[in-house]
Amino acid sequence: MRTADFDFRLPTELIAQHPMSRRDDSRLLVLNRVGGGVEHRQFRELLEFLRAGDVLVLNNSRVIPARLRGVNARTGGRFEILLLEENAANDWWAMLRPARRASAGTQITFYDPKGNPAGISATVVEINDEGDRRLKFSGAADIRDQLERFGETPLPPYIHRAHELPEDRERYQTVFAAIGGSVAAPTAGLHFTPELLEQLRGRRVRVCFVTLHVGPGTFLPVKTETLTAHKMHEEQFAVSAETARIVNEAKSLRRRVLAVGTTTVRVLESIALLNRGKIVENSGKTGIFIHPPFRFQIVNALLTNFHLPRSTLLMLVSAFANPGGSEGRGMILAAYAEAIGKRYRFYSYGDAMLIL
């Protein structure tokens, strides 16, 4: 399929810049894959679409304050830094802007969001083929322990902020976030409240977790002309023995498995591909690229946000809408067109979509 097949036009005013006052105040578009019927609901009405024995799988990765500000120690030129992946303590791959000024050997001094010296510095020691910089930090035993002090929330570029707001530190994080490592939020989970999760458990919906640390590549548009030419980024994941047991038991009893977010789908289907349709305790990296056509072995329902044009996330939900062929693309784009007409809020702080 061609990348251009997954393009659509979105009015910029529908790109949500702030979260709703309450997480579950978001709207919920419900799409039925059989026939393409659409319902318009509130997110808290999710309860009506789940039944006893269903399994809800959430990504419990925690967003780290990965956006840093620094200056060239020699010239005073400013850098904006996004941490990407930790190699070891004080050894990170990072994205720098402006990258052309960060040659190997460049020394960077960091400041906190208020402009005060953070007492942390780094040296560019390597540049990879993608233009990312490898940074060796000094000034702390492990800068990961200092990020809350001098880092900022790594909001995506379509949320326009000169600096993070106090609400961002809390709201660009799920209420069940537990394991730090993401530099972008698993946004489908942002709508849940502790009360809603308890109500689901009270209805005997089984709630379990996987971990996938979301990287910035998740949101980037596909730049190749065809989908098959695109190289997917890899992300770290982990699945516990308990989650594997719950999901496998549900599948053996023909219960539904509802994945919250495309990141959760990628974890479950990656493991299933390697284990003949079973989930096992596992950890590692996945670079799975799910696009039409794709045979899903685990996930029966998907809760997700509205995604960017030409993104791998839009391609995944299109595959899920019609696992056997390419018709899902048209179904998803038609649902998106209706959402635009109804003035739904898009992207990270936007509304949600449930595909059944």
Per-residue pLDDT at 16: 98
**The domain defined by 3-63+169-355 carries CATH number 1.20.1250.20:** no
The structural domains of the chain, with segments of one domain joined by +, span: 3-63+169-355, 67-150
Q: Which CATH class is domain 67-150?
A: mainly beta
**What is this structure's pTM?**
0.95
Domains 3-63+169-355 and 67-150 equal at CATH topology level: no
Residue 163 — very low, low, confident or very high, per pLDDT cuts 50/70/90? Answer: confident
Per-residue pLDDT at 334: 96
Residue 319 has pLDDT above 80, yes or no: yes
Of 350, 324, 352, whose CA–CA distance to 159 is shortest? 350
**pLDDT > 90 in the chain, percent:** 93
* Least confident among 27-36, 216-225, 346-355: 216-225
Q: How far apart are CA 177 and CA 59, in angstroms?
A: 8
CA quadruple 286, 288, 294, 300: dihedral positive or negative?
positive
Per-residue pLDDT at 248: 98
Q: How far apart are CA 115 and CA 109, in angstroms?
A: 12
**pLDDT > 70 in the chain, percent:** 99
Per-residue pLDDT at 162: 85
Strand (E) or helix (H) holding 213: none
Residue 341 has pLDDT above 90, yes or no: yes
Residue 219 has pLDDT above 80, yes or no: no
Question: Is the previous residue joined to 98 through a cis bond, with omega within 30 degrees of 0?
Answer: yes
Per-residue pLDDT at 1: 84
What confidence tens digit (pLDDT) does each residue in 141-150 have? 999 999 999 9
What confidence tens digit (pLDDT) does each residue in 45-100 have? 999 999 999 999 999 999 999 999 999 999 999 999 999 999 999 999 999 999 99
Residue 134 has pLDDT above 80, yes or no: yes
What confidence tens digit (pLDDT) does each residue in 246-282 have? 999 999 999 999 999 999 999 999 999 999 999 999 9
E strand residue ranges, the chain: 27-31, 38-42, 55-59, 61-63, 67-72, 78-88, 91-97, 107-111, 117-127, 133-138, 179-182, 206-212, 235-239, 257-260, 282-286, 301-305, 352-355
- Please report which residue ranges of 173-326 form alpha helices under DSSP H: 194-202, 241-252, 262-274, 312-321
Q: How far apart are CA 271 and CA 278, in angstroms?
A: 7
Question: Whole-number mean pLDDT of the chain?
Answer: 96
Per-residue pLDDT at 310: 95
- CA angle (222, 88, 230) in 5-degree steps: 15
